Chains A and B, each alone.
Chain A
Amino acid sequence: MNERRPSFAGQPAASETTDRMREAGDEAAVRAVDLPPGWDEAVRLEDDPATIPDPADVDLPDELRAEIERLMARYPDRHSATLPALAAAQRLHGWCSPEAMRQVAAVMQVTPAYLSAVATFYDMLRTQPTGSRYVYVCTSVACHLRNAKAVYDAIAAQASEQGLEDVEIREFECLGACDMAPMASVDGRYVGPLSTGDAPELVRALREDREVFPGRGLPDPGYRIRAAAEQPPGPPEEPDVHPAGGTWKEAELLDVPPAEGPAPHVRERLHPLDPGTSMPQEEHADEEEGE
C-alpha cells in the first residue's frame, strides 16, 4: 500500500517521475503508472512531515470555507465536521485530491495526513479521480439473488462502448433498497428495478445529462415497484451435472454432454469440453504428472 500513500510537499509532476523511473528500469514505475498525479510516490522519509497548513498560504474558494465553517459550528468538537467537510470538498473538486485535502486541512486546522486517513476509510470519498458523478450498482446479497451482477456488467460494458466519461461506475454494497432489486444509485437518486436491457438508456441519459428513467426513481411522485412478473429472473441455473450422492466418477462425467455455457459465477477459463475430444484417462494422469 505504500506506493499509494499521498505526499503533499511540492513534488515533481507524476508523468515526469514515472518517466524517470521507467528509464531507470525501476519496477515500481510499472505499479505507479495507473495512479493519479500526486499519489504515485512512496513517502519520502527525508522530507519533513506535512504540517497543518497555514490558511494564508492556501488558496481556497470562499464558498468552501464558509461551508466548512458552518459545518464545524454544528458540533461541540470541530473534528466532527471531517466527513461532511470532505464531502463538500469532493463536490467541488470531483474527488478528494491532495489540493482538496489541503484546503480542508487549512480551514479545519488539522494535518492533511489526518484527512487522508479518514478519507481512505469511506467508500463514498474518492481518493482517486474516478469521476465527479457516480453510479453505484448494488450487488449485495438481496440484489445478488435477482441477478444484479449481470446488470452491473451490462452498465459497465455500455459505458465503455458509449465512451461515458467522468462517471464513477462501481459495484456497491447494500444500498438499503432490496425491495427495488436490482437497483442502482445515480448521484444519490435510487432507480430500480433494473434489467440488463436498461443499461444502454441509463448510460445514454447520463451522457446527455438527462434524468435517468423519470418515474422510476424512488423519490419520484407516485413511485411504485413494478410487479414481480416484469422483474428479471434470478441467475441462470447451474449446468445440470448431478453426480449421484455428491460424488463423481471422472470417466462417467467425461461422457456427459456439455452444459450450455459456463455458470454465471464461473471464470472465463472454464469451458465445457467439446464432445468427441475426450482423451483416455491414462494420458490425463500423465499430463498431471508432467506438470
Chain B
Amino acid sequence: MDFSRINLNRRNVLKAAGMAVAAGSAWAETSEAQAQPSERKSPPLKRRVLPWSNWSGNQECLPSVRQVPRSEEQLIDIVKNTTTQVRFVGSSHSFSALVPTEGTLISLAALRGVESVDPQSGDAEIWGGTRLAQIGDPLWEQGRALINMPDINTQTLAGAVATSTHGTGVKLGSMSSEVSQLRLVTAQGEVIECSEDRETDIFQAARTHLGALGAVSKIRLRTRPRYYTQERSWMMPLEEGLERAAQLRDKHRHFDMYALPHGDYILGITIDEVELPTASKVDTDAEEHERSNSESAFRTVAKITDYLPFLRSPIINYAASRVEPEQRVGRSYEVFGNLRDMRFNEMEYSVPAEQGPACLKEILETIKRQDIDVIFPIEYRYIKADDIWLSPFYQQNACAISCHNFHDRDYKKYFAAVEPIFWNYGGRPHPGKIHTLGAAQLSRVYPKWNEFLAVRKELDPTGKFLNPFMKKIFGLA
C-alpha cells in the first residue's frame, strides 16, 4: 500500500470539510501529536533478549533466545542444536502470528546479498536474508532485473517466498513462482537443495512454507534483462473501474486499483515496459512530498470523520474528484518498490480472477451499508496461477483484494464484516496476513494442504518449527 499513488490532497480534504471542520481537524491533529508520547509509557523492558513485535504491532512475543547467524554453517549449528521451539523472522512484515515464539527466534538478516548471476540462465543466487530493496541495484549492474515485485520492498527474500508475496500482473506470478532452486536447512540441520528436478515434493512445499519446513538460506531466482517501466495513475468513477478492470488487466503488463471506502471513485494504476535510452530517474524527493501529503490527507479525513461521520463520503468524493492523472518513469525496481509507508494492519484474500470486480463491489457496499469506520484504500491486484502447494494462486489465476486499516485503529469489526464475503467467492487467505481460518477450512480451499502437511511431518517430525498459530492452522493443536 503506497500512499504516494493516491495523491489525495490535504487542501482539498480540508476545503471539502469546511472551515468548522478544518478547525476540528486542527484540534484532532493536536490531540494526535499529544497522544503519541503516551506510547512511550510502556513499562521498562528487561533487555537481555529484545522483545519482538511485527511491523504493525499487532503481533508480539518475548523469545528466550535471539540468534543472528553470520554464515550458513552457523545457521545449521543453531537449528540442529536448539532443543526449544524455533521460529524464523524475516523483516516482520507478516500480520498473522507466524513468528511469535517463547523459544528461539532466528533472523537471517546477516545472510544477505546477491551472490552471483548465472551468465547462461540469468538466474541469480541470493541469500535468504536479503531485503527486496537490496536486490535491484546489484542485478541492474549485471544487466538483469527481477521479473516482478511487490509494492513494498522491505521484506526479506526468504520471508517473501515463504508467504507467496506478490505484485500485480495477469501474466506474472508471485515471488515464489520465480524461484528455480532453494537451499533448505531442516530441523536436523540437514541441507536440502531442491528444484523442479530435484526433491520435487519438497520444492513444491518449500516455495510457500510459512517457515514450517526450516530456514531457506539461499534462493536461486529467475531474472530477466533489465528494463524501464512507466507508471500511469488516474482516478475514475467506481463503476467505470469495475467495468474496465478485466480489459485493463489484459492490456497492461501490470494493473491494479485502489478503491476508496465510502467513496464513489477508484484509482487505476498501470505499469508498462518502456524504452528509455537515457535513464530518467524517479523523482524520489517529489515522491516523498506526495506521500507525506497523501498520508496527512487520509489521517485528516479519519480525524474529521471520528466526530462528523456523515461527512465521510462527501469529503472523500470531493478530494478524489480533484486527483490529477500522474505518471512516472524509471528503472523497473524503482517504479515497483517503495521502502517507506504508513503502518497498517491487513487482511488479503485471493479470489478467482473473474470474480474480482463483483467481490470488491460487495465489500465496498458492505462498508457503506454497515457504516464501517474505515477510509483506508482497498488494494486490488491480479496474479497468474502457479503450482505451489500453499500458494493462494495454486492452479488459479487470481485477484488479490487487500483490506487495511491504520495500525493504531481497530480493524477487527471491519475484517469480520468482509471476511465472509471473501469466503463466498471461494477466497484463499494470504498466509502472512490476518485471517481467522483453521485447519478444516484451509484444507478445503488449498487442494494440496494435506500433501504439504505430509512433507512438513517428514522434515520436522518433532514439531520444532511449530508455534501455537501454526499448530492451529495445521490442525495439530
A and B co-occur in one complex: no
